[in-house]
Structure 1
């Protein structure tokens, strides 16, 4: 938003050429930046700007498109927008409309549009890399490959069903088994993609929950990690009564750290008991658990880091030293002891939740469609479809329809409204 060094105003559609001619007095050579004096309908000067002309269909939106690279002051932008708004056949773009026009004209597919939305919202390096892969068509190319394989299987089924009596069609016994084998191989590949981390882990951040008994140092730790006084620290049990969450980025990975109420079985009042219940729910939903209590009391969790906290207070406490021997690391958030090791341990564990380099993660919508396609391609042993080519062919068709929903070729109108409305006006 203005003010800025440069503001880009884009005009797309059948009136783009006329609008550019009225403002600049001419239509520049296609795809070449040209300096022009912009004037309104009364001949009053608006700005001295670079103008570009892109004739369709080889444009970002698939339509004729003009761009005005203006000086980025608010008054300049407002004056140019006012001059454009006064021209017949022009209106202000809605949020995400340029990207939606690109999708409707076939310049990008739905998966690429979702990647662009994620790229615009990216705040960390991992989010940027993931969104860029989606926007550049990583998922779309995979879907195209799967569709080609489905098409080959469907062609084989149709040949067997409709042309088995023709001499020039290559068919043979066991066609149904051949189809089932091909479907199974493709279903296995889809399953490998479904086993990858979900895109929401990257977009929303890895959930890291700090838990333990009262006065274990949980609030001190989250304050040290956030480098600010996020949670109240006191020597009284039950001070923290709710889940306190803060977003942080460690080594370019988005994370959500949560401080929780101290877990204890007795002595809690009604309000604190609610906080304890919420703490237990947070622990269950956590991607990574930082446990600051006795090692033997750690809740069952697949990714827990056992921390011997408040090491600065031990001073000959044999029990604390014995407990620390069974923990993953010794820590003092007050003095900074062990904070570097904790940082490294969290990042190392978080990387196991993210896609490997070169892998693309799927959004929830994409995962749902892929899971449905896999379901249609999976034939249980002894199922009645196993020997029926007509039913197998129908399963192949339904799997293809499910994959089409990933790239936006089928039944996505309501979802489009929700997606593109989240874009900024310039997109």
Structure 2
């Protein structure tokens, strides 16, 4: 948790904002407190995104889903204003550590803890699906370990189920934790979340997604078999969450049902103390009157008030940091306090994630993708294929291009920026394809 920046708001509705709990690509999460002393996690959209109607629509869906399913296995909704100049919502503040951080810091969970985790998450999915939603982004970073058990957070890309039980196909999600049907952009239903649950439980056992290690040394045969059933390629063959919860439930002993290791319990207690004594806000800077920014036509440089704080090159090539790791999600802010403390405190340090997805019934003989002038060429590419590249946060700051060759067949592509479609297309019978755009 960090003290408030001088540019941070000091209130949202009836909540005073006391500290920063985390920051992501879409929003900042603050520790807030009501007049009656109720602690809250206040998620507020970044000011530079508030004018984007697609982001506002996503935020409204997240508010509706959180209100519908929050409480027992998710953060309970306290208040929200998705139509405010900067949309915000307040949920109960959950002193917790994310599953991702817990495993990275303290190692894989012991068997009893994995059982508690599996049963709790399966019950959470049962409630989410019963409310008419599919989460679509269940992963270790979106699971909070609290003193009362696991909670599922971040309904930023939640899908509302259609009459047939599925949500429209979209490749949005997190690499390494998406189901095969979701990764392919096909319609996804509750079994997609069950697959993601299997990936998440594998991480809890091994420290990595499926394929990154063996859980045999951590859990018994019965739970290992349950996880394997979650990971079946055929959605119809995956278990029902309610049945999975009963199957994974730890034996009743009368003790602490969550069975978190001592290090995790200590971290939860530390966060309780931090909630009661948040860090002090940083002092506000003295106001400096600046002249209106001037754009020099044709020069490609933005000069603000004559201060040499930096330049913005317009339309030119920019750097990218390459591909992300298997647990690197497209940017979305956790809806709870256990967001990574390493998140940048300033909006200028934020980036977005541009992702290329290519699917089809052929193997590509060559594939070249270019982002801001930096090209990568691959040969003999097996489909489906995808990759992700960090790009600057400013809209319009990245130019992309994709080119591919193949034998006669059908190939489709999608380009997604922070889970929002930026380009797509498909063709049958052609042996080449090319597209470009700006995000």
Scaled by the length of structure 1, the TM-score of the pair is: 0.21
> Higher strand share goes to which structure?
2
User: Highest Rg: 1 or 2?
Assistant: 1
